[in-house]
Structure 1
């Protein structure tokens, strides 16, 4: 197993605008490819904690659609403070969105959404998986403990993302984004964060019932940030090892890879992997 090759740029058509679709458990954004690539799987994009489908709408999903894929991005319902959603609820949200598509799908999951994506691998409609800074099958407890020891202000800011009220932007800015992204853009994105389900975050600390992509005969690829404090590089490598998948650790990008400086190259790299894997 070896890391994937360096970032590349591929020619793409003009990115389409999204529209909204309803399904059994909510709504999802959808992007229609201007020139569908024959045989290309649809893409189901699953967002991370405290985010929403909007993280894909800043350009990432549109670029994948412009490369020939139908793209769909559902939102997870975090529930209410008195009745927070569980990981099983998030998995049910994702499976309901998958069922509504009636087609072969590659699931692309970020962070907590990456954990949900891994738990969906056994679905017959899932043809493969791509992970961005994913919560690992081993759970987040070890990474969380190390964060508490190494960076207490950031650990407290992350812990408070399950509470009502505005997020603590300063420590989150250096975790979610690399130094190259202008502060105005970083703060714009961070201001859109929402309180996350405390129950789902708590459950994600523990080891998860995640099948191996290799064992199921399904292609997978894993990307992480070389300096991501939330899902550190060794966690990314262990996730890739579990799935016997190629991986890459990227320089200069923070945890929110689809929004950070250089997201275009990451989307193109993912597009090349899809093209090579699903000819």
Structure 2
């Protein structure tokens, strides 16, 4: 079956990409995709969103509003963006959050309308300070490149370094650099907040299912952070070989999409 194309959907706090399933599953939850730092909804439009919709699920992907120079957005603003998107969908949603978007997803676990969460290389409830410090000690050039990702044009200038963190060796260089060149804008307030421990309710405490996927060689959200996130939520997890941090764009993303769909289909039969 042909994968559907995305379209723009206007909601109270902006617009989001949406994919209509060609053969909807009766009673299936919608899937809300939350992107990570320095990205936008476009990361899901390279194939991942369409694959989920082709399996019968309505799929939605907002871009966080970063605010302005005078009032940059914080994590609470990103959570408000996601809440407004959920309200516009008018059905229960499973939030699929990547990296910083995974942290926002965790903060929303106790919200009405959220049926569960799936996390991809998520920023952990403990915050990113420990992982950030370790990266600075282990690989200072890469740490500096990551720290400068939010500067205009920095992604393209630091492409070779960032490729090591974001993509596996199997990812064609031209394709990786094309994605990196699109990255950049991010609220420094949100990034600073994400360094500290966050008010994240455990999934088991609110009675909602969760699953966590990490990349075994991810220097930004390392495997031990993924394990601790899974322990906090008492949730199953998998550490994937052959993938790096930008999992929904990396070479072999189709296998991750299939794992994710298998979990959603089994959980919401």
* TM-score of the pair, normalised by structure 2: 0.98
Corresponding residue for residue 186 of structure 1: 176
Cα offset, 1:83, TM superposition: 2.3
5+ residue gaps, structure 2, are none
Which is bigger in relative contact order (C-alpha 8 A, separation at least 6)?
Answer: 1
Whether the 8 Å contact between 2:4 and 2:53 is mirrored in structure 1 is: yes
Q: Which of 111, 126, 129 does residue 114 from structure 2 map onto?
A: 126
Question: Could you tell me which of 20, 37, 50 is aligned with 1:62?
Answer: 50
Note the C-alpha offset of 1:76: 0.4
From 178, 199, 202, give the equivalent of 1:212.
202
Per-residue CA deviation, residues 142-171 of structure 1 (Å, 9 max, x unaligned), is 000000000101110111123333322111
Contact 1:24-1:96 within 8 A present in 2 as well: yes
Alignment of 1:20-39 (within 5 A): 20-39=8-27
Change (3 A) 1:156 1:193: same
Equivalent of 2:105 in 102, 106, 117: 117
Superposition deviation, residue 81 in structure 1: 3.0
Q: Find runs of 4+ consecutive structure 1 residues off by over 4 angstroms.
A: none
State how far apart, in whole Å, the 1-side matches of 2:110 and 2:124 are: 17
Measured in 1, the distance between the counterparts of 2:162 and 2:70 equals 26
Task: Quote the residue 1:145 is aligned against.
Answer: 133
**1:82 Cα shift?**
3.1
Residue 162 of structure 2 is aligned to residue 172 of structure 1: yes
Distance 1:82 1:192 in 2: 24
Tell me, yes or no, if structure 1 residue 239 matches structure 2 residue 239: no
Q: Structure 1-normalised TM-score? A: 0.94
* Aligned twin of 2:123: 135
Q: Is the 8 A contact 1:165 1:195 kept in 2?
A: no
- Give the whole-Å Cα distance in 1 for the aligned partners of 2:22 and 2:258: 17
In the TM superposition, residue 80 of structure 1 has moved relative to its aligned partner by 2.6
Task: State how far apart, in whole Å, the 2-side matches of 1:77 and 1:171 are.
Answer: 27
**Unpaired stretches in structure 1, ≥5 consecutive residues:** 1-12
- Look up the match of 1:93: 81
Give the secondary-structure state (helix, strand or coil) at the position aligned to 1:180.
coil
After superposition, what is the alpha-carbon deviation per residue over 1:171-220, rounded to whole angstroms, capped at 9, x for unaligned? 11010000000001000100100221111000000000000111111010
CA contact (8 A) 2:148 2:154 kept: no
- Whether 1:41 aligns to 2:29 is yes
Match of 1:14 in 2: 2
**Take 2:148 and 2:68, find their aligned partners in 1: how far apart are those partners?**
16
Is 2:153–2:181's contact at 8 Å kept on the other side of the alignment? no
Q: How many aligned positions are there?
A: 267
Residue of structure 1 equivalent to 2:70? 82
**How far did residue 27 of structure 1 move?**
0.4
8 Å CA contact retained: 2:149, 2:184: yes
Cα offsets for 1:81-119 (capped at 9, x unmatched): 332111111111111111111101000000000000000
Corresponding residue of 1:4: none
